[in-house]
Amino acid sequence: MFQLHTNLNLERETEALVVGVFHKNDSFEGPLEEINGMFDGYLSQLVKAGDINVNEKQVSVIPTFNKIGAKRLIFIGLGRNSGLTEETLKEAYGKLFQRIKVSQLTEVTIALSTFTTSVISEEMSARLLGEMSQLSTYEFEHYKKRSNLPSVQLEKINIIASNNIESAFERGYVYGKATNSARTLVNLPSNMLTATDLADYAQKLADKYGFECEILEKEEMETLGMGALLAVNQGSTEPPKMITLKYQGKSEWKDVIGLVGKGITFDTGGYSIKSKSGIVGMKTDMGGAASVLGAMEVIGETKPKQNVVMVIPSTDNVISATAFKPDDVITAMSGKTIEVLNTDAEGRLALADAITYAKHHGASYLVDVATLTGGVIVALGTHTTGAMTNDSAFYEKLKDASQQTGEMIWQLPIAEKDKKKVRSSKVADLNNSPGREGHAIMAGTFLLEFAENTPWIHLDIAGTATTNGASSYGPSGATGVMVRTLAQLIHDF
């Protein structure tokens, strides 16, 4: 899909030559100056007239009338040179690829130096280009008889760059592609993505990348005492799965990062049933599982020198005569007993056993990812993932990774009073739902009881796992949030 060229050859045939244009009062420079010369200075006049829009993220298409080898010129407005940020450039690239998709172009050439500044290098620009080539054009293959997917797809990107930016582009491409894989998992309806299907998907990843794969069945979970996950599964006819993938990037199995993703394939709320409007969209309650599977795809492609164990507890949470109920007391794998006050607080129960099992597999660090609470949306909205931790140094590493990928996180506190609330049951060690106040914090504090002293970060993606509107990053629906941040964390660790 990608080919690198070191010089701008205006006679080279291409469907479109793409250049970035900044808001300037002076004349064109570099490649733009050369291209403008081929048009007798006419392009600079079009900029002054506003026919080529230099404002941020604006796309202008100009036919070349065979004056150069490109059939058309695509100008991407970048605003003022001093104001160009990574985020703005990503959105500009997103608009570019969406326009290419609508125009059904199969091949384009990009003059990369026109998308750089004193703070944005060719390597950085290439990485963002690769990432957005995938994210911005994502589409879920729905079940309508007539597909809305275009029949023509972009097959080749020629990049003109003075440096070897191949690895940077490919890295961004892999991050974007893996994020799209996670998006598709989240967008699948629950009758087409059961716990068994999720386990099969993980097995295919293992086969492709040489991961060690273990799928625990219900009987094995019973032997291991995974009473928390099994309680959530009690009402279901679908068997639960505890899914584990292991990647060894070091000679010894030590300093292992554990990625734990909530895999509730549909959540009715159980006997604490959701409202008729609140239950719609609960196919996305396995967004955490999709995130860690996407991260494992990146790991398989890039092969970092790091040890990683991924654990997903998977089931649906449905109502039947055998379903667990409020007032039940269950025993988790760790041996701790839990009073169930809310069957709609099931994700933390499943994660409790998965966190314990990740430690069983040698996890020295833990990151759990879950669409866990509506409370985090009330607190932080839909653009910021809530985070909680017991280890500030570990959290700083994740925070740095999130800043690199542009996926915003915000730390929520854990106070001693919060711990006391989680331990406030009169009949068990813990209760799974101390109340609505600080709901997101209560959920994270509950999980801390199972992480214990292992460096741990909890990521609540209930607000960020999906979006209601289309953007430069693609259509509404699943976002694949945290795939890139988790992969970056492991890469940098």
Residue 274 known to be catalytic: yes
pLDDT band at 213 (very low <50, low <70, confident <90, very high): very high
Domain ranges of the chain: 2-164, 188-492
Residue 106 phi/psi, 5° resolution? -100, -15
Which residue among the candidates 241, 336, 348, 484 is catalytic per the annotation? 348
204 labelled as ligand-binding?
Answer: no
Burial string for 66-76 (b: 16+ CB within 10 Å, else e) reads eebebebbbbb
Cβ-in-10-Å burial (0-12, 13-18, 19+) of 58 comes to middle
Residue 344, marked binder: yes
Distances (CA, A) of 341 to 270, 432, 434: 12, 6, 8
Mean pLDDT to the nearest integer, 409-429: 97
Contact 324, 330 (CB under 8 A): yes
pTM exceeds 0.85 for this model: yes
The one catalytic residue among 24, 274, 397, 423: 274
Closest-CA residue to 354 (of 277, 281, 450): 450
**What are the tens digits of pLDDT across the range 287-312?**
999 999 999 999 999 999 999 999 99
Residue 166: pLDDT band (50, 70, 90) is very high
- What was the pLDDT predicted at 373? 97
Taking only the tens place, the pLDDT of each residue in 444-491 is: 999 999 999 999 999 999 999 999 999 999 999 999 999 999 999 999
Non-local (6+) Cβ contacts of 1 within 8 A are 154, 155, 156, 157, 173
**Known catalytic residue at 348:** yes
Mean residue pLDDT of the chain comes to: 96
Tell me the CATH number for domain 188-492: 3.40.630.10
CA distances from 130 to 70, 364, 402, 486 (A): 22, 33, 18, 18
Closest of 71, 78, 157, 152 to residue 120, by C-alpha = 78
Whether 429 has a binding-site annotation, put simply, is no
Q: What is the pLDDT of residues 24-69, one digit of tens each?
A: 755 688 899 999 999 999 999 999 999 999 999 999 999 999 999 9
Token reading at 89 = 């450039």
CA–CA gap between residue 75 and residue 405 (Å, rounded): 26
Which residues neighbour 27 within 8 Å (Cβ) at sequence distance 6 or greater? 33, 44
328 is in an annotated binding site: no
* Annotated binding residue 368: no
Per-residue pLDDT of 242-297, as tens digits, reads 999 999 999 999 999 999 999 999 999 999 999 999 999 999 999 999 999 999 99
Class of domain 2-164 as given by CATH = alpha beta
pLDDT of residue 148: 60
pLDDT-based confidence at residue 239 (cuts at 50, 70, 90): very high
pLDDT value for 150: 58
> E strands, 332-404, where?
337-339, 363-370, 385-389
Residue 83 CA: distances (Å) to CA of 21, 79, 118: 13, 7, 11
- For 189-204, the pLDDT digits (tens) are 999 999 999 999 999 9
Q: Which two tokens stand for residue 384?
A: 């910021």
SS3 label, residue 409: strand
